[in-house]
Chain A
């Protein structure tokens, strides 16, 4: 393997896979991934991944269960009948009333004397089960999954053996027998903590969906044969961060990636932006589902108002950035434009809905442009922001930071920025432009994030991630819990934020743990075959002297050449 091939696998791909031969022509291999469809996986016998609609149904059912439990408690405590159905007419878009008070002063909204002034409106405390924000705890029956015929949590997940889309686990590359798999002995699911915890009673449906989707997402990254596309998926997912910091996102996080991000990673940025901004995960995460135009019919009657969270973050993080010199008036205008972009949980299927009744009427001025009211005005505004020169510059900077270096070389940024401008935001063309950057072919200039490291390690070892919560706990232990960034700006993409001493020690400890899965394979042969010239003689020498395969593999996974990409 030559250096260019080895580098292409780690810089643009998700790390070399022991199961896939290295490409003969790395540039052509990368460019083909842009032109060709995404790798598909799974088998017809396996169920599909949960959709957004199914996730929303899970949110609704979780909420109803909590409500029923609360009513039962109230009924017991007060010695009287639980409140009737009217109380249940809560606005499904209004998912967490606690966020609203930050618009005012933390107290109830003016004019809000009870939770019924507007159907569905509450002050955050009137929604049973929602006040504490613990949306996914205390479920009595986590095993029932809406839309699944047999009522099991997720196809193939109940016993921990198979992944979604992979009925018996055999679809994993390199899985010829069970010996390579921890927790599997002789190809059968072996007893062990790793296999014990799928679809557990006591977990909410939302949480169950999160686990299934999270595991599937990482397993896909481990197995994909179009790893450049996959890296783009993770890159754009991080760009449009949604997070379990808002617990409702759990049920739809995976569907968000599949439906709003993945289809567009080589398409036009404006299409991805629109898909993201209409996706319930984003509308929940950044509070737009409950944002009400003050002068709308609903706003007039309820005295509710704007929530500018999504509008602000969309401008600041997703599109133009403060470099565009927008003002608070622009943010407010954009928030008005986006009012009514909400979610309806009771529709069939549940999903995005434009609610004219709470949409702010009238034309709005954003960055000097006028946009009409109505749903189309929002679409127009997003299209404008998507194609703004400042957006192109921001996206180019982020892409170059990810694919070239923590400090993006200005010339490289200008190249990608020019491509985005000239192609109307064609992300495939930008990706091809990255492959064409000389600067992107300098090895080792990026430190792997924990997620990158975990995926790359699993690919190298040809083993699937553990189909169990411990696997997701690993990412948390390493400092990057899946789909749970602390803030809307997502995970850092620079080494300084990932190279703390304890963080590095945890990587070592995890590398030691996962290296226990080396089995009877030769770690040095794995290193030679997959890292090629990136494999340093010093690492080779140390591995040759290692006391066991496991220790040798640990050295490889913790070596500078593997920590970097």
Chain B
């Protein structure tokens, strides 16, 4: 279906998802969209280890910090996917690598917000609020609200932005009305969460054995419970399915232009090498699904993938990593000036780590967001202070998107 009817029927069928994608009353009936550009933000909750997703294998300090966490060098079996000699993508990010080679993926490394907390919840709030204090609205909502008034002619302006998932993340909350969509039914949590729930229940004589058997019955074998996850397909509720739905909605001429999605499973305190495979595969498959679903609109799309902070540069005592500081962000899409790793690389050697434990932050994540909002969505730079209030103003990064 190329064009979503307006208003949509109660159950619409999108791209072969048949009745799985229940659009409900989602209102995509806006004639004049504010922009023809598409912008998707993917929030990775739980703190992605940037040093595992985009491995600085050329940094001589890396191996000593985390010998067991570094994948084989590029060219070897299950080896890194090279990004030009210094950095390599995690082998689970094959689609992302293809995008990189097509100049449609930009990596921003050693990036962090303007906060230095290691609490997931606080850091996610800052990441999404974009302020130097906690607010009740998010920077993307304020950005949508600040988009040129001439383009806000439709009363049903909520269709400009949509949150894909069970709730509207802080990022999109605020004065500007936004839409929200999620497939009906139960999403399955990340497998790591199942594991944690099992361990919390293990001593219970009723719930413990039931959950253990339930996981087994669903085919999560012992190997999987140990962390290896081969099956990336998570059905209709998984990130790829949500990404497909988002792409279909964004593609529609009358559809929303801005979407936010979330993906969890990144809090890899233990057995990180195994546990990262599944969420990375989800992310990779999801980006590809989004690209496919967007079709021609991919060329006018920027996808920003961000997480609340990075993880310790050193491996901890359980073959995982703990909460850290700087990490990686991705920009993907046909509108991205990709094929590059943008980093003011701080180094991993002695004295170069932040507080002697984390990758040091050298780029403010807000600069990345601002660079997209201005260059891609046409946001007036004068309103950036209102969209990202407080503290030292970050400067929008330039050159993130292709010249139109």
Contact = CB atoms under 8 A, between A and B. Distances in A.
Interface of A: 179, 182-183, 185-186, 188, 190-197, 200, 447, 470, 473, 477, 495, 499-506, 508-510, 512-513, 516-520, 522, 538-539, 542, 545-552, 554-555, 558-560, 563
B120 interface: yes
A560 B196 contact: no
B187 A545 contact: no
Contacts of B215: 501, 505
A476 to B, nearest CB: 12
B111 to A, nearest CB: 19
15 contacts: A185-B158, A185-B179, A191-B180, A193-B24, A193-B182, A193-B184, A196-B22, A196-B24, A504-B207, A505-B211, A505-B218, A516-B166, A542-B200, A546-B46, A548-B120
Nearest to A444: B204
Interface stretch (B89-97, B261-269, B348-356): B261-269
A191 B179 CA distance: 6
B23 interface: yes
A499 B136 CA distance: 40
A193 B22 contact: yes
B311 to A, nearest CB: 11
A179 B173 contact: yes
Contacts of B197: 508, 554-555, 558-559
A290 B34 CA distance: 65
B23 A560 contact: no
Given A499-B207, A513-B187, A545-B267, 10 more contacts: A182-B166, A192-B180, A192-B181, A196-B22, A503-B214, A520-B136, A522-B121, A547-B120, A551-B190, A560-B201
A512 B193 contact: yes
A502 B208 CA distance: 13
Interface in B154-209: 158, 165-168, 170, 173, 175, 177-190, 193-194, 196-197, 199-201, 203-204, 206-208
A509 B189 contact: yes
Q: Identify whether the interface residues of B are mostly helix, strand, loop, or mixed.
A: loop
B125 interface: yes
A502 B201 contact: no
Contact of B24 (A188, A191, A447, A551): A191
A500 B213 CA distance: 9
Given A196-B25, A505-B218, A499 B210 contact: yes
A547 B200 contact: no
Contact of B25 (A191, A505, A506): A191
**B interface, size bucket:** 35 or more
A194 B124 CA distance: 27
A200 B46 CA distance: 41
B200 A554 contact: no
Contacts of B216: 501
Contacts of B186: 477, 506, 509-510, 512-513
Shortest Cβ-Cβ A-B pairs, 4 listed: A547-B46, A516-B166, A193-B24, A547-B267
Contact of B165 (A190, A200, A516, A559): A516
B27 interface: yes
A505 B264 contact: no
B360 interface: no
A191 B181 CA distance: 7
A551 B187 contact: no
A196 B175 contact: no
Contacts of B217: 501-502, 505
Contact of A558 (B184, B200, B264): B200
Contacts of A509: 186-189
A516 B167 contact: yes
A245 B27 CA distance: 37
Contacts of A499: 206-207, 210
Interface string B47-89: 1000000000000000000000000000000000000000000
A548 B196 contact: no
B267 A546 contact: yes
A384 B211 CA distance: 47
B46 A192 contact: no
B170 to A, nearest CB: 6
Contacts of B269: 545
B214 A504 contact: yes
Given A539-B200, A558-B200, A191 B27 contact: yes
Nearest to B122: A522
A186 B208 CA distance: 40
Contact of A560 (B26, B190, B200): B200
A15 B190 CA distance: 27
A194 B180 CA distance: 10
A560 B199 CA distance: 11
A504 B210 contact: yes
A510 B197 CA distance: 13
B193 to A, nearest CB: 5
Given A193-B22, A196-B25, A501-B217, A555 B200 contact: yes
Contacts of A520: 125, 136, 170
Contact of A470 (B173, B184, B187, B201): B184
Contact of A501 (B23, B180, B181, B210): B210
A554 B207 contact: no
Contacts of A194: 24
Nearest to A549: B121
A153 to B, nearest CB: 15
B257 interface: no
A195 B179 contact: no
B45 interface: yes
A197 B10 contact: yes
A202 to B, nearest CB: 10
A510 B189 CA distance: 10
A559 B180 contact: no
B245 to A, nearest CB: 12
Contact of A550 (B22, B24, B45, B177): B45
Contact of A179 (B10, B25, B168, B265): B168
A520 B178 CA distance: 17
A41 B157 CA distance: 35
B210 A196 contact: no
Given A195-B24, A499-B207, A512-B193, A190 B158 contact: yes
Contacts of B182: 192-193, 516
A19 to B, nearest CB: 19
A547 B275 CA distance: 13
Nearest to A516: B166
Given A185-B177, A504-B211, A520-B136, A447 B206 contact: yes
A185 B178 contact: yes
Contact of B207 (A188, A546, A563): A563
